[in-house]
Amino acid sequence: MHYRSPCTTFAAKLERNKDMKKYLSLIPFAALIALIATCVSVFGTDALDGATQVSLLLASAVCALVGYLVRRVKWEALEREMTAKISSCMPSIIILLLIGAIGGTWMVSGIVPTMIYYGVQILRPEWFLVSSSLFCALVSVMVGSSWTTVATIGVALMGIGRAHGFDDGWVAGSIITGAYFGDKLSPLSDTTVLASSVSGTPLFTHIRYMMKTTIPTFCVSLLIFLVAGLLMKVEGSSDVGFLSQLNETFMISPWLLLVPVLTGVMIARRWPAMVVLFLASLMAAIVAVVWQPTLIAQIAEGSWYEGIMKVIYGSTQIQTGIPALDKLVHTNGMAGMMPTVWLIICAQVFGGVVTATGVLRDMMEMLLRFVRGTASLIASTVLTGIFCNIAMADQFLSIILTSSLFKDVYRERGYETRLLSRTCEDGATVTSVLVPWNTCGLVQSTVLGVATLAYLPYCFFNYLSPVTSVIVAATGGIKKEVKS
């Protein structure tokens, strides 16, 4: 008699029970959810400092074990997929580091303080939330990037909102709402181009069809911000003392706004994001040396070269005499982005493992079983996009995977490709920023200095878009074989 180990016996049983395989695929995601929930309850807003990263690696280990027992997946296959996923997000990591450099140089050079100085005087508190959302929407449509919008205009608006005394969550929510609305409808947006291309939909057909769900949702969001701004009684520090101290600490001048203008010109001419962000940082660094020599000398105790390098890569704390203003002008440079980079890498490890083991595919197949009518098809597509944002931690992968999974289903049921492309955007693009470990959630929370869970309740456009998409389907707002 030959001895058979328990693992061998278990694997043999799984070979005979395909349904059991699929249900076991739930284990890694259940483990991830349990681990993340525990981290949030124990560490609170500090969960992203390391506990969440460890949770992702532990969930990856659980998934690797399930993959080995269920499908006998070899380690080499897991390693290849993890490497591929990490490699795919390297451009995002470089952009993230450059955004960190912009955060330091644009602040110390006086660019952001100048925008705050004039913005506090122009944007009245009662109209601030709705105005900031509209402003970000306009900029994002023109530049085609929510990341760039948030990292530049968004940072300045964040400072203005704090000066007016608004809660960080409300301000960040209004900024993100506008930035993602513009990103979604801009023909320059990479996610918009990606969603249209992977589904086989002409770009402008895709954009026009998205307006049916996107514009009503944005209008509802603006109405909420308008009412909230009118009802709120904020007691901010946007008085003469605050502005005078800002003017005393930095050399404020409209000429400094030439850097944002030139940055906008480069973006409008569709220069590569890395090039634009690098040049924007370089211009700001030169301006800092020329326009703010006293601050640079203070940071490095005399050496301008050492000072500007510290501004780019490290933490910079400028003393103004007002605690709220000290917090506002504090920057962390590239070093401040390192926890986010660490988290992105760990998230991509988990995404690689769930892909290589087939666990993600099993989850999608189980979801497709519940698809019956139009509303359930749209709801399933939206939920898949949200689920992929959670599991894959990247909106681009979410758009590609969701479109690939549902493309044949939509075609077989007689729906146009533009319905699939719109639903992918409603589910995957806008919800990515709501997931703390997703690349979008990580970048925006780091850049704005507001935890994802703190701004999530106020990103009305981002979580109402999937709901609107399903409501339109449920109320008969979708017809088959309609030619654009």
DSSP-derived secondary structure for 343-359: HHHHHHHHHHHHHHTSH
The residue extents of the domains of the chain are 91-336
Whether pLDDT at 339 is above 90: no
Residue 334 CB neighbours (<10 A): 20
For 31-38, what is the mean pLDDT?
80
Are the CB atoms for 161 and 121 separated by under 8 Å?
no
Among 66-75, 191-200, 341-350, 385-394, name the most confident range. Answer: 66-75
**What pLDDT does residue 323 have?**
67
Model confidence at 236, pLDDT cuts 50, 70, 90, reads: low
The CA R_g of the chain, rounded to the nearest whole Å, is 24
Whether residue 225 is predicted with pLDDT greater than 90 in this model: the reply is yes
* Mean pLDDT confidence for 342-348: 78
Give the closest residue to 133 by CA, choosing from 110, 84, 166.
166
pLDDT at residue 12 in the model: 52
Q: Considering only CA atoms, which of 441, 449, 235 is closest in space to residue 330?
A: 449
Of residues 144 and 379, more confidently modeled: 379
Which residue has better confidence, 473 or 462?
Answer: 462
Q: What is the mean pLDDT of the chain?
A: 80
* Confidence at residue 482, expressed as pLDDT on a 0 to 100 scale: 45
Distance (Å, whole) CA 146 – CA 185: 11
pLDDT category at 238 given cuts 50, 70, 90 is very low
Percent of the residues in the chain that have a pLDDT greater than 70, as a whole number: 83
Q: Supply 50's token pair.
A: 């390391």
Chain segment 82-91, per-residue pLDDT in tens: 888 888 778 7
Lowest mean pLDDT among 30-39, 108-117, 143-152: 143-152
Q: Which whole number is the average pLDDT over 260-269? A: 80
Does 25 score more than 80 pLDDT?
no
Residue 68: CB partners within 8 Å, gap ≥ 6?
Answer: none
Confidence band for 53, pLDDT divided at 50, 70 and 90: confident
Q: What percent of the chain has pLDDT over 90?
A: 12
User: What is the number of H-type helices and E-type strands within the chain?
Assistant: 27, 0
Q: Is 331 strand, coil or helix?
A: strand
Residues 6+ positions from 454 with CB-CB distance below 8 Å:
45, 168, 169, 172
Q: In the predicted model, is pLDDT for residue 391 greater than 80? A: no
Distance separating alpha carbons of residues 139 and 92, to the nearest angstrom: 21
The pLDDT-based confidence of 483 (bands split at 50, 70, 90) is very low
Please give the sequence-ordered ranges of beta strands (E in DSSP) within 340-474, or none if there are none: none
Per the DSSP assignment, residues forming a β-bridge with 316 are 331
**Cα distance between residue 166 and residue 60, in whole Å:** 40
pLDDT band for 484, please (50, 70, 90 cuts).
Answer: very low
pLDDT bin (cut points 50, 70, 90) of residue 181 is very high
Q: What is the pLDDT of residues 281-316, one digit of tens each?
A: 899 999 988 888 888 887 877 678 888 888 888 888
More confident: 144 or 200: 200
Residue 17 has pLDDT above 70, yes or no: no
Residue 102's CB is within 10 A of a number of other CB atoms, namely 30
281-290 burial code (b ≥16 CB/10 A, e <16): bebbbebbbe
| Average pLDDT score over residue span 127-134 | 89
For residues 180 and 458, is the Cβ–Cβ distance under 8 A?
no
**Cα 87 → chain centroid:** 19
As a whole number of angstroms, the distance between CA 324 and CA 285 comes to: 25
Report pLDDT for 461: 95
Higher pLDDT, 36 or 447: 447
Average pLDDT over residues 110-132: 80
Q: For the chain, percent helix, then strand, then coil, each to nearest 5? A: 80, 0, 20
Name the burial class of residue 294, with classes exposed (0-12), middle (13-18) and buried (19+) by CB atoms within 10 angstroms of its CB. Answer: exposed
Lowest mean pLDDT among 77-81, 116-120, 150-154: 116-120
Give pLDDT, residue 30.
Answer: 83
130/164: higher pLDDT:
130
Q: Specify the pLDDT at position 40.
A: 66
- What's the whole-number mean pLDDT along residues 116-140? 81
Smallest CA-to-CA distance from 36 within 400, 467, 393, 397 is with 393
